Amino acid sequence: MSDSFYKSGEPIADAKAPKGPIEDRWTTRKFEAKQVNPANKRKKKIIIIGTGLAGGSAGATLGEAGYHVQQFCFQDSPRRAHSIAAQGGINAAKNYRNDGDSVYRLFYETVKGGDFRSRESNVYRLADISRQIIDQCVAQGVPFAREYGGLLDNRSFGGTQVSRTFYARGQTGQQLLLGAYQALMRQVDAGNVELYPRHEMLDLIMEDGRARGVVVRNLINGEIKHYTADAVVLASGGYGNVYFLSTNAMGSNVTASWRAHRHGALFANPCYTQIHPTCIPVSGDHQSKLTLMSESLRNDGRVWVPKKAGDTRKPYDIPEDERDYYLERIYPSFGNLVPRDIASRAAKNVCDEGRGVGPGGLGVYLDFADAIERLGRDKVEAKYGNLFEMYERITGENPYDTPMRIYPAVHYTMGGLWVDYDLESTIPGLFVIGEANFSDHGANRLGASALMQGLADGYFVLPNTINDYIARNALPPVDEQNIAAAEERVTSRIDRLLSIDGDRSVDSFHRELGHIMWEYCGMERTEEGLRKALELIPALREEFWTRVKVTGTGEELNQQLEKAGRVADFFELAELMVIDALHRTESCGGHFRAESQDEDGEAKRDDDNFGYVAAWEWAGEGEQPVLHKEELNFEYVHPTQRSYK
């Protein structure tokens, strides 16, 4: 049985979420929260790890509020945070198109899209705040696309039948990040924010069970330093790079979250991984990452494969009646705009049938011929020109003349550190925002909702809830012994990695781990495969600690050392992901168990036995993790079989 891999612990509950009508809960919580007067804010220090949309907006807002913020990122500039790679857009319930959208509809579709595995209170707050985000960003000068008359334009995205996605061509993340960055740098100039680029958090400083600071490594000269504060905020992104090949930036990692997890922060739903359906297919073993093509392309592009297996003709040589527009055939109501998990599995299924296209048969076509004929090339180019150009540069194929080839790839992680309604983890004083937490998306994230959550957390939620914690906790200076203990943990781990002097590169271990995860804990999971992974991962981790070779020293720029520490944490995370996937014998959202599907091959949930958040506790080296369950209650959106047909 899968429970032989874990222990059961006490249930966990979100004690901060207010009662009452769902539309009033956020207003109630803000009113109940204690405030910090402006003069006292200047005496309080907050540490933020990460400068993406969540971290950058939080730093700018908390600095503006008067707090003393110290902010860290491992990139050479906050502008290089991975949020810059987001392409398609940001959701908001503005109903500019007068097509029936509303806060409630966005709330409903987000809960449904997450396959009924998210909290209603959190999701409603997100939908409500979405409207403020657009106003904030427009005021900052974010150049959203506009219609001919000057009004903000919208487009549709997967999992919905209304147009609520605001966008800036195919570079929405970049433009939103520049808005947050400018606001952040204003606070740097004002002296309210101290910015530390090229610094990586390697441990958490704890005192009396609270988060009181961090230990970081200067990535240029290797210097280990500590910083203490009244509260710590993790905005360090997701953990998709555990798969090695993903759409994430190569530096994206789980280390900040995992260090916190080892100190008592519960890790929630780690097996919920989103596979994005529109990525450029793998082209060979030389690749170290994959490239995302925006989901917005599915607005006008039609997905198809040949009807006959083994058809190797060029796409323009295959007649219309010999093409299978399979998403339109299987899901006539939503067609090419079904949610990501469904589109990804459908692509895998047709490729498994031998109808895939391109090298190795691991691809499907995304065809714009109809859109170009209907709208004209100029209109298509205005919407997607930079995406088409990027595709052509990578593949050498012109998508105006030849359909794009796409295939699913790891993109986003819905799991993350468990947080309550205030975005506070199970470690008092440690707040987690953006993709680093688990809070809003359930088992599957709707497209264009990542930017929405990141900015909601950073601009609007955290600045209200962190006040309450700081106002209620007057903390003394941190004991030097606790600081020294944290620094010792960091230096001893670095010394251990450098002393192994083995014969295998860090990347070789990372690639092998990624292959195991993709094969056995990827788009489709089985009990047999997950058990196999639980044999392979610990063995590979043991080999890593005896055979990895990290060249150079710790007192210099050493990217091999950086990667080695991150991969070491990926090994531990990977094992927990597999245990989580093995214990959850249902299928839901991005977690598809082959043993749990209906007669049509769709995911089959088990609400009676798995209608909860799985929050995992670190029990120590070599010990089984402890499972704490947070039961999910649905008062407004009652779980049904999710259908997009």
| C-beta separation of 288 from 371 below 8 A | no
Q: Which amino acid is at 364?
A: V
Catalytic residues: 340
What are the C-alpha distances in Å from 205 to residues 53, 201, 422, 492? Answer: 25, 11, 21, 15
Contact status, residue 410 vs residue 211, Cβ threshold 8 Å: no
Separation CA 494–CA 508 (nearest Å): 19
Q: Find the helix packing angle between 103-113 and 120-140, rounded to 10°.
A: 120
Q: Which amino acid is at 460?
A: F
- The structure tokens listed for 577 are 């992901």
Q: Are 47 and 55 in contact (CB under 8 A)?
A: no
Instruction: Round to whole Å and give the CA distance between 562 and 247.
Output: 20
20-47 burial: b if 16+ Cβ within 10 Å, else e: eebeebbeebbeebeebeeeebeebbbb
Q: How many CB atoms lie within 10 A of CB 645?
A: 10
Total residues found in the chain within this entry: 645
> Which residues lie below 8 Å from residue 588, measured CB to CB, with a gap of 6+?
115, 116, 117, 442, 443, 444, 603, 605, 610
By the 10 Å C-beta count (0-12 exposed, 13-18 middle, 19+ buried), 540 is classed as middle
User: What angle (nearest 5°) sits at the alpha carbon of residue 586, between those of residues 446 and 635?
Assistant: 60
Inter-residue contact 324 to 414 (CB < 8 Å):
no
The secondary element (H helix, E strand) that includes residue 47 is: strand 45-49
- Contact call for residues 131 and 94 (beta carbons, < 8 A): yes
Please, is 332 exposed, middle or buried when counting C-beta atoms within 10 Å of its C-beta (0-12, 13-18, 19+)? exposed
Residue 559 CB contacts under 8 Å (≥ 6 apart), including other chains: none
Q: Within 10 A of 104 (CB to CB), how many other CB atoms are there?
A: 16
Helix (H) or strand (E) holding 274, with range, is: strand 273-279
CA distance 341 to 27: 33
